Each structure stands twice: as C-alpha cells, then as structure tokens.
Amino acid sequence: MPPASISEAEIRDWCVACLQRMIDFPAAPVAPDATFAEMGLDSATSVYFVVELEDWLGRELAPEIVGDYPTISRLARHLAGGAEDDGAG
C-alpha cells in the first residue's frame, strides 16, 4: 500500500510496470507518452488496469479515466494532483 501522497513519477512507473504485465502480445510498446490505444489497451484490458490502479492508490476511479487522460504521463499527472475523480474530464 503506497503512502498517502504519491509522486507523479511513482504513479507513472507503476503504470508502466502494470501494463507491461498486462499487455501480452509480442513487442508490446509500453511507453509513458504513447496513447493507451497505441499500446493496444482495449476496453476490457483498460477496465482491469483501472481496477488494479484503484486498488494500489486506495481510491475509486471511473473506468473511463483512461479515455479522459489517454497517456500514462497525463494520467499520472492528473492523479498526482490529488483530484477527486468521478470520471468527468
């Protein structure tokens, strides 16, 4: 369980590691500034990714958050800002 305030860099690194585990096709191009679609995250996988992220962060996130913040970098920046997220971009 991470500490109450997590840095943007820690969130970014965690997301990269998580997606590298989840995206199971050869030569999966996980990178902080690639869009989730470019990395091959379909909605079923993105739903799973958001659940894992919620569990790690310890707070609820809307499943559509990866649509509103479509790269790891942007998502990490948004979440590190500590915003209460209800899915509204």
Partner 1 sequence: MPDRRAYVFLADRGGEEAAISFGELDRRARALAVRIAAQAPRGERALLLFPSGIEFVVALFGCLYAGIIAVPLMLPRRHGARDASAAILTDCTPRLALSTAALIAGARGDLTGRFPADRLAWLATDGDEPVDRVARGLPADPAAEDIAILQYTSGSTSAPKGVVVSHASLLANLAMIQAAFGTTRTSTLATWLPHYHDMGLILHLLHSFYAGAPQVLMSPVAFLQRPLNWLRAIGEYRADFSGAPNFAYDLCVSRYRPEQMEGVDLSAWRVAVNGAEPVRAGTIDRFAETFARHGFARRAVTPAYGMAEAGVLIAARTRADGPVYRRLSRDELQRNRVAPPQGDADARLAVGCGAQLIGERIAIVERETRRRLGPDEIGEIWVAGPNIAGGYWSNPQAGADAFAATIAGEEEPAWLRTGDLGFVDGAGELFVTGRIKDVIIIRGTNHYPQDIEHTVETAHPALAQHGAAAFATVDPDGDERLVVVQEIERSYRHRLDSDELTRRVREAVVAEHDIAPFAVTLLRPGALPKTTSGKVQRALSRQLWLDGGLDLL
When the beta carbons of 65 and 79 are compared against partner 1, the nearer one is 65
Give the interface segment with partner 1, choosing from 1-9, 12-20, 43-51, 75-83 (CB under 8 A): 43-51
* Chain residues 58-77 in contact with partner 1, contact rule CB under 8 A: 60, 63-64, 67, 70
d(CA 5, CA 19): 22
Give the interface segment with partner 1, choosing from 2-10, 19-27, 72-80 (CB under 8 A): 19-27
What's the CA dihedral at 37, 43, 46, 51 to 10 degrees?
A: 170
9 binds partner 1 (CB under 8 A): no
Q: Is the dihedral of CA 28, 61, 88, 82 positive or negative?
A: negative
